[in-house]
Structure 1
Amino acid sequence: MTEERVERVLAEVHDDFGMIRVLEVDDYRFLEFGDAIEQSCTFTADPAWLEYDYTRAMLIGALCHEAPESALFMGLGAGTLTQACLKFLPLEDVEAIELRPDVPRLAMEYLGLADDPRLYIRIGDALELLDSAESADLIFVDLYTDTGPGVAHLAWNFLKSCQERLTPGGWLVINQWASDDGKPLGAALLRGLYHRHYWELPVKEGNVILIVPADLDQTLDFDALSERAEGLAPQLGYSLAALIKALRPAS
């Protein structure tokens, strides 16, 4: 007979966009929006642990860069990916843009988000604040609500500006919703915008991570990526090799 998991509500707040809730189940804490729509999962003992494949796939996008010094996160959530990047990459300057002011507060209070001096959090709409953000070696787009991806995930000008905000040799990493056929949401738009010059990484949660270089001359060095991932595996506590094998050119 399996033991029933006990779910405990640690915090619940309401803002202009709806409800935000923090739950605890065993060794994990979850950030939820609206009607039990899970946004993030934190392993309490190690907030930099990436539980889900989609966050590990986004870390692979970060490892495409040899030595990133700056990163911009659009959408913070519990901050697990941000924490992992701060912990495992040589980052010196990290900016996060988060729409809802209670999200970073709850992340720090309940989900282990550290008050790192390298991290600067701005509250507001990413579509409006991107133009005032610093250029970065890595840019992450993960803008989800309780109803699915935010409008930014299909906004041509915004997605174009994200790529243009990259430093030379930089990488844009997008957590894109997947259609029923396994292709990323807005596949035709993305192919036209990025000239089919990007890579896709489908994950079991049903999303497709897009890894987009700063320009058309930039390619993905699979050998160097695998080497960096393999070297990091003992610190991460898991291997990224299977996910790297699933990387495919833009479909």
Structure 2
Amino acid sequence: MSRNDVLEDARPEKVLEEIRDDFGTLRVTEADAYRFLYFGEQTEQSCTFTVDPAWLEYDYTRAMLLALFWLPQPPRVTLLGLGGGSLANCVLAHFEPGQVTAVELRPAVVDAGRRWLGLSEDPRLSIKIGCAEQYISQAPASCDLLFVDLYMEGGISRLQLQAEFFLRCHKALRPGGVLVINQWQLGASGQPYAGRMLQKLFGDYYLQVPVEEGNILLLVPESGQLFLEKLALRQWADDIESRLGYSLRPYIEALRRASDGPAYS
């Protein structure tokens, strides 16, 4: 059963726990085989398939995996923003990373992940509690893959609108590394929320993947450009489909260079 099936059934989600911390309220709910992490009352932050906590339900998290095509093995991976932990679980279960470091502002999010959402106990997973900006400023050339997925109850984090923050994220990459940024789409423009700023920072040397949820994923290389070899990408996706349980081909077909996206009005 997919998340859409759960919604269509219109059965109320059972609240498993409500937590208050210095940043607001967290809620963990359950519907059938799915559990959800909410920031506040309405902001659904994460979805976990309890049968397989490494399963990625959201299109945008699946699209994030495309960056692994260009990376050396085994990669060192950093996540800014843990959420329910599904992305960390997936990377650990299916991509043989050397290490995964997750930076999370709220200890209560980590506690909820461990108690309710199947957050991995793999010894390769290191969780740092604190500010993403402070952490990344002190971590130059520390990872091969950096996921930036910072959202709060009210929406996108202020950090994801700041040029200096993204420059520090870029400096955190080791040679050959890739920075992956989860941005909202700017209205109906087909461009990411901070797209103009990102183009000024990185030129047209990054790739974009728009997904149905309204997000746009940006894949930014440490240097040079990511060659858009769709034939090789499709073969890579086919090779890993059996272990993931879903295909990454839809996101490969949507993959484009930043310069090929819709023009700003």
**Does the C-alpha gap of structure 1 residues 3 and 118 become closer, same or farther in structure 2, counting only changes over 3 Å?**
closer
- Partner of residue 135 from structure 1, selected from 102, 122, 142: 142
1:92 aligns with 2:98: yes
- Partner of residue 232 from structure 2, selected from 220, 224, 228: 224
Structure-to-structure mapping, 1:73-222, within 5 angstroms: 73-133=79-139, 135-180=142-187, 181-222=189-230
**Does the C-alpha gap of structure 1 residues 191 and 154 become closer, same or farther in structure 2, counting only changes over 3 Å?**
same
Amino acid at match of 1:93: Q
Unaligned 5+ segments in structure 2 are: 1-7
Q: Tell me the SS of whatever aligns to 1:137.
A: strand
1:6 aligns with 2:24: no
8 Å contact kept, 1:64–1:225: no
Q: How far apart, in 1, do the equivalents of 2:147 and 2:9 lie?
A: 38
TM-score by length of 2: 0.90
> Does 223-232 or 197-206 show the bigger shift?
223-232
Amino acid at match of 2:131: D
Q: Tell me the SS of whatever aligns to 2:46.
A: strand
How far residue 81 of structure 1 moved from its aligned partner, in angstroms, is: 0.7
- Partner of residue 46 from structure 2, selected from 22, 40, 50: 40
Q: How far apart, in 1, do the equivalents of 2:70 and 2:231 lie?
A: 10
Amino acid at match of 1:57: A
How far residue 67 of structure 1 moved from its aligned partner, in angstroms, is: 2.3
Q: How far apart, in 1, do the equivalents of 2:73 and 2:253 lie?
A: 22
Corresponding residue for residue 62 of structure 2: 56
**Does the C-alpha gap of structure 1 residues 49 and 218 become closer, same or farther in structure 2, counting only changes over 3 Å?**
closer
Amino acid at match of 2:217: I
Q: Tell me the SS of whatever aligns to 2:123.
A: coil
How far residue 158 of structure 1 moved from its aligned partner, in angstroms, is: 1.1
How far residue 36 of structure 1 moved from its aligned partner, in angstroms, is: 1.8
**Does the C-alpha gap of structure 1 residues 110 and 195 become closer, same or farther in structure 2, counting only changes over 3 Å?**
same
> Does 34-43 or 221-230 show the bigger shift?
221-230
Percent identity between the two aligned chains: 46
8 Å contact kept, 1:137–1:167: yes
The two structures, once aligned, show a CA RMSD in angstroms of: 1.5
Q: How far apart, in 2, do the equivalents of 1:19 and 1:237 lie?
A: 33
8 Å contact kept, 2:70–2:226: no
**Once superposed, which parts of structure 1, at least 4 consecutive aligned residues long, lie more than 4 Å away?**
none
8 Å contact kept, 1:68–1:138: no
Q: Tell me the SS of whatever aligns to 1:6.
A: coil
8 Å contact kept, 1:169–1:218: no
8 Å contact kept, 1:23–1:31: yes
Corresponding residue for residue 238 of structure 1: 246
**Does the C-alpha gap of structure 1 residues 217 and 51 become closer, same or farther in structure 2, counting only changes over 3 Å?**
closer
Q: How far apart, in 2, do the equivalents of 1:66 and 1:12 lie?
A: 41
Q: How far apart, in 2, do the equivalents of 1:103 and 1:222 lie?
A: 37
**Does the C-alpha gap of structure 1 residues 49 and 217 become closer, same or farther in structure 2, counting only changes over 3 Å?**
closer
Q: How far apart, in 2, do the equivalents of 1:80 and 1:232 lie?
A: 17
Cα deviations by residue, 1:106-155 (Å, 9 ceiling, x for unpaired):
10110001111001101111011112336101000000011111011111
How far residue 7 of structure 1 moved from its aligned partner, in angstroms, is: 1.3
Q: Tell me the SS of whatever aligns to 2:26.
A: strand
